[in-house]
Amino acid sequence: MGLCSLFLNSARRNILELNDTVMDAGDEPGQLLLSSKTSLPPIRIPPDYPQRVDWREKKGADQVLNPVRNQKACQACWALVTVVVLESVRKIRFEQEELKLLSPQMLIDCVCEDPPADKIDTKTGCYPYAVNKAFDWLIKNSVQSEADYPYVATRGKCLHVAVPKESLKIKKYVKIKGHERTRLLKHVARHPLAAVIEITKEILTLNDQVYEGLAMKPQEDPPRHAVVIIGYGKDEETGKNYWLIQSSWGDEWAIGGVGKVARDVKANVEMRGLFP
C-alpha cells in the first residue's frame, strides 16, 4: 500500500497522519470515459469484500459524505471533487472526528492564480483544471474550511485566513495504473475517490438507469467532468454492474445528484481514479 499523509490543523489536534494509497492519472484526474459499449469481463469481487457499496448509507455520527454540492456556472468540478474526497477519506480514517466541510473556493482562487487566458470563463473567471493538480498544490499548501472561505462560484483573489479554525493538507500521494480494475473496486470499498466522465446528452439527462457510454465514439471529444465514485453494485432490473458516481451539479441531476455508470464497459481512455 502506498503512503499518503494528511495533516489537519485545529485547536484540538496539531497533526494527523493518514496513510493510504492514491490513484492518479498523470496530467488528468481519474478517467472513467465511456464512449464504447464493448463489454469487458466483470470485475471479480474478492470474497472478503462487499458485493455492493454505497457511502451515502453512513448516517449520523458515521456520515462520510456532505450533501451534494452545486458548482453553479463556475467550471469548478475539479475543486469540489477534491474537497469531497478529502472530507470523506479523513472522516473514514478518523472515525471519532466530525465530518468537515472544506473550501473548494480556496482551491479555485489559489491553486492556479494565473490560468491560461483562453481557458478562463469571461463571466465567472473560473477555469477547467485537474484534481491531481489540486493535490499537487495541497502538498505545499493547506485548504481551509468552507466557513472560513465560503463558495461564491466565481474566481477571486487568493486569500488566507490569519488564524483558520482548521485546515488540511497532503504530505504525499502515489500513482496506480488504471487497468487494475479490481484494485480500483477494492479502494472504492474503503472510501470514495475521484474520477472523470465525458459530458454527453445522455449523461446530462441521466435518471436511474445505468449509463453505458455512447454506441460510437463522437467525432469531437466531449468536455470532461470530475466526479466522485461513492460506491458500486448491480442493477436489480437489468443485472448490469455499475459504479455509483456523485456529481457537483446539485441534487437535481440523476437521482439526488448521484448516477450509475457501467462498470464492465470498455472505455476509450483507460479508467483511473484519484484519492488521498
pLDDT at position 165: 75
Question: Which positions ≥6 away from 259 have C-beta within 8 Å?
Answer: 203, 206, 211, 244, 245, 247, 253
Alpha-carbon gap, residue 228 to 174, rounded angstroms = 18
The CATH superfamily holding the domain 6-262 is Cysteine proteinases (3.90.70.10)
Residues of the chain with pLDDT under 70: 1-38, 163, 172-178, 215-218, 266-276
Cβ atoms 195, 29 nearer than 8 A:
yes
Alpha-carbon gap, residue 233 to 179, rounded angstroms = 19
pLDDT at position 125: 96
The pLDDT tens digits for 60-88 are 999 999 999 999 999 999 999 999 999 99
Q: For the chain, give every domain's residue range.
A: 6-262
pLDDT at position 36: 47
The pLDDT tens digits for 208-250 are 999 987 766 667 777 889 999 999 999 999 999 999 999 999 9
Alpha-carbon gap, residue 68 to 60, rounded angstroms = 16
pLDDT at position 160: 83
Name the average pLDDT for the chain: 80
